[in-house]
């Protein structure tokens, strides 16, 4: 069983009324971009814990987590009140297989996410390994409202560094938003609208696709990609689709 260590909040970033990020100092075991660990708080005689992905690349001196505050939730409302200097518990050993070390090589790397599940993909892009292994990097982020398109400063930094190799495609499903596609990611794949926006097609030869989001989104996106001729990536049978449910 992985050990728990004390972490100290060094910064809280508030994106919207319900979305926030915590930067935490803690002595953790080495981890890979795309992995996750658990955060916890002691409440009476109970330890309330949930899994959260790292947003930061492993090289940073802090660990960053992107959270949505769930009204009436057991943990996130309390995490949302933490201030710099406050402490929490962090599981010292990260886990998860949504990492570049688990996927075959390719030309195009598609990173398809919804909500706070963009976190592991920001970590992967910021770490710098993806640009060494792929010619084209496509970051797709679906949200309900435009204000939920968080991490714009970091995305701008990545665009400045990677230039035309990085395609950033936001989706906003519940309101028109400048620069964003309307609707949902699986439907845009089925219709060919996402491919047209990026100027690249999905293909077994060139594509590797990583998906992170709620279970419904992950399943629907997998089906849309299978219809494009792609297959799930398994260790015993390498394919093009790798995914992780974000709860």
pLDDT at residue number 244: 86
Per-residue pLDDT of the chain (247 residues; tens, 9 = 90+): 679 999 999 999 999 999 999 999 999 999 999 999 999 999 989 999 999 999 999 999 999 999 999 999 999 999 999 999 999 999 999 999 999 999 999 999 999 999 999 999 999 999 999 999 999 999 999 999 999 999 999 999 999 999 999 999 999 999 999 999 999 999 999 999 999 999 999 999 999 999 999 999 999 999 999 999 999 999 899 999 999 876 6
Greatest extent of the chain over all pairs of C-alpha atoms, in Å: 55
Q: Cα–Cα distance between 186 and 72 in angstroms, integer?
A: 30
Report H helices in the chain. 76-79, 119-127, 130-133, 152-162, 185-191, 193-198, 215-226
Sequence-ordered list of residues with C-beta below 8 angstroms from that of 247, at least 6 positions apart, any chain = 214, 215
Residue showing tokens 């015993």? 236
Is-contact 240 227, C-beta < 8 A? Answer: no
Q: Cα–Cα distance between 141 and 222 in angstroms, integer?
A: 16
Per residue in 17-66, pLDDT (tens digit) is 999 999 999 999 999 999 999 999 999 899 999 999 999 999 999 999 99
What is the secondary structure of 4-56 as a DSSP string? EEEEEEEEEEE-SSSEEEEEEE-------TT-EEEEEEEETTEEEEEEEEB-S
Q: In the sheet where 63-68 sits, what is the strand order?
A: 46-53, 36-43, 87-91, 4-14, 19-25, 63-68
Q: 166 pairs with which residues across the strands? A: 137
Q: Cα–Cα distance between 196 and 219 in angstroms, integer?
A: 22
């Amino acid at each position: 069983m992985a050990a728990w260590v004390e972490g100290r909040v060094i910064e809280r970033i508030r994106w919207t009324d319900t979305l926030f990020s915590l930067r935490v100092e803690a002595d953790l075991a080495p981890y890979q971009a795309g992995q996750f660990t658990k955060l916890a708080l002691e409440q009476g005689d109970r330890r309330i814990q949930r899994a959260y992905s790292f947003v930061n690349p492993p090289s940073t001196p802090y660990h960053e987590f992107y959270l949505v505050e769930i009204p009436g939730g057991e943990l996130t409302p309390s995490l949302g009140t933490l201030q710099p200097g406050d402490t929490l518990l962090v599981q010292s050993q990260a886990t998860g297989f949504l990492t570049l070390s688990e996927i075959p090589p390719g030309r195009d790397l598609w990173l398809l996410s919804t909500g706070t599940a963009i976190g592991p993909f920001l970590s992967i892009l910021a770490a710098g390994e993806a640009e060494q292994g792929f010619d084209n990097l496509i970051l797709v982020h679906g949200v309900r409202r435009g204000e939920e398109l968080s991490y714009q400063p970091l995305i701008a930094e990545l665009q400045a560094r990677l230039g035309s190799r990085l395609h950033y495609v936001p989706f906003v499903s519940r309101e028109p938003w400048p620069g964003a596609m309307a609707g949902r990611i699986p439907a845009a794949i089925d219709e060919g609208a996402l491919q047209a926006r990026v100027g690249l097609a999905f293909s077994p030869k060139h594509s590797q696709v990583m998906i992170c989001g709620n279970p419904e989104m992950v399943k629907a996106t997998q089906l849309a990609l299978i219809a494009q001729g792609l297959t799930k990536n398994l260790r015993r049978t390498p394919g093009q689709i790798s995914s992780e449910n974000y709860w």
